[in-house]
A and B are shown apart, each in its own frame.
Chain A
Amino acid sequence: MGEMEQMKKEAEALKTQIEAARKAAHDTDMASAASGVAPAPRVQLKTRRTLKGHLAKIYAMHWCTDNRLMVSASQDGKLLIWDSHTGNKVNAVPLKSSWVMTCAYAPSGNLVASGGLDNMCTVYNLKTPVIKTVKELDAHTGYLSCARFLSDTEILTSSGDTTCVLWDLETGKQKTVFLNHVGDCMCLSLSPDMNSFVSGACDSLAKLWDIRDGQCKQTFQGHTSDINAISFYPSGNAIITGSDDCTCKMYDIRADQEVISYQDAALNSGVTSLDLSASGRLIFAGYDDFNCNIWDSLKGEKVGVLSGHDNRVSCTGVPGDGMCVCTGSWDSFLKIWN
């Protein structure tokens, strides 16, 4: 038997083995296990702030760890830093390329990053007397879909070139390249303990990676289209994904499989973004149909909806203290709800 034939055979055998092991662990699913849990209360949130200032579609937003400042990115070619309590704009960062797809706030609050169709991740220092570009991370061969700072010296990016990269911000060079997806990487989420991260891609798979050794440890299947949004559960033991297949799913890491799907026959718009409430009980998912739906993560039921945008909800974010949820839209506005 040729080597190619042998490897195909071994690959099939391993896939069968993995499926069997997952099935053996599947003694129940999340919704059944949670049947005795009291339903989450009907969640009715009010718009507390509407942040006006961008002149075109908003593509991304990210909270600062101070739970008050946030950064938003729009294809009007700007990053805006907002004080969410007053609703005022604190800073404006003009972008070299207006085709921005992501933005991020460093945990220290000192730096922000952006990137998009320019294939680069640009890092800015907010604390110098005039905002300065400190690094242009230029090695991806596809668009930058997501960026997340680990610290002021390391940042993770995901790209349309199917890779994720860990960068050293002091040298501006790639430290680790995470290779395994076969479709554009669309999103990433850092684990609470910062030792791993998960990525979602257009190959409809979510992958768990070890940040330090660069290896893909687990692959989660189930979605039937691009995964646009991904987030770790606050406990670090599960992940939630949102997809163009109009569903969100929870995958448990230690059980290595999907444990619940959040879907509704009436919902036929793709999921663009998502975030979780502080306990993980509530999932806020933004959709192409201009709404943000609120799901009970344990029981799989829809418990509320945030309606108010006049176009697609493109980004959703809950600050670290869980005090509100922010939605950003192609209608150029950001709304804060609680």
Chain B
Amino acid sequence: MSTTNNIAQARKLVEQLRIEAGYERIKVSKAAADLMSYCEQHARSDPLLVGVPTSENPFKDKKPCIIL
């Protein structure tokens, strides 16, 4: 019967909401500070952010060899 299904669904929803309501949240200011700190710490080793020197770029354009 669809009412038993609906009740089962409603129970599941309440159960899930209870789990989510119980979560211990931190302040966005703290979360943001941690994210900024992570980015800063890892910025220097982020090739797409700081650029890849041609000599170390495995994808650098292959130059044709000119035979003189």
Contacts and interface: CB of A to CB of B under 8 A. Distances in A.
Contact of A18 (B20, B35, B41, B43): B20
A90 interface: no
14 contacts: A14-B21, A28-B29, A29-B28, A30-B35, A48-B61, A84-B59, A215-B19, A234-B38, A252-B32, A255-B27, A279-B49, A280-B38, A322-B46, A323-B57
Contact of B28 (A14, A41, A218, A259): A259
A14 B23 contact: no
Contact of A281 (B29, B34, B43): B43
Contacts of A92: none
Interface residues of A, number: 64
Contacts of A137: none
A23 to B, nearest CB: 10
Q: Lowest 6 A-B CB distances belong to which pairs?
A: A33-B32, A279-B42, A48-B59, A279-B46, A14-B17, A252-B31
B57 A338 contact: yes
A41 B10 CA distance: 50
Contact of B16 (A25, A27, A216, A282): A216
Interface of B: 3, 6-7, 10-11, 13-14, 16-21, 23, 25-36, 38-43, 45-49, 52, 57-61
A217 B24 CA distance: 12
B5 to A, nearest CB: 11
Given A17-B21, A18-B20, A217-B23, A26 B35 contact: no
A49 B40 CA distance: 30
A17 to B, nearest CB: 5
Interface string A48-77: 110000000000000000001000000000
A274 to B, nearest CB: 14
A213 to B, nearest CB: 11
Contacts of A3: 7
Given A18-B20, A48-B59, A48-B61, A237 B47 contact: no
A255 B29 CA distance: 9
A27 B14 contact: no
A297 B14 CA distance: 34
A217 B19 contact: yes
Contact of A252 (B17, B20, B28): B28
B35 to A, nearest CB: 6
